[in-house]
Amino acid sequence: MLPPVVLNADDTSTTVSAGTTVTFDLGDPGEGRFVAESSDPSVFKVEGEGKTEGTYTTNAGGVAVASGTAEVTVQFFGSTNGVGSPTTFTITVE
């Protein structure tokens, strides 16, 4: 099993092998959530959103599926703050 790759707002691109998990760490979502959307799910499949569940916080993320490049947009949706500006990540799968 490959270790996960963690990207943040200052590190928005990576090249990975198929099967690699990539997470997007954009901070604590508080009462909101971070939702990711892939431009090409056949290259990078989103599998979860970033949210707080009880005492722990998860990051939005997914898995590299097949060779190619996908743009993944992660956006904050808050219960009281509205919608945040999206951050776009470039995932290249070799």
In the chain, the number of structural domains is 1
Domain that holds residue 59: 5-93
pLDDT digits (tens, 9 = 90+) for 66-84: 999 999 999 998 866 566 7
- Sign of the torsion formed by the C-alpha atoms of 17, 10, 3 and 23: negative
Residue 80 is predicted with a pLDDT of 61
Across the chain, mean pLDDT equals: 91
Whether pTM exceeds 0.85: yes
Rounded CA-CA distance 33/56 in Å is 13
R_g of the chain, CA atoms, integer Å: 13
- For residue 59, what is the domain's CATH number? 2.60.40.2020
Q: Give the pLDDT band of residue 55 (cuts 50, 70, 90).
A: confident
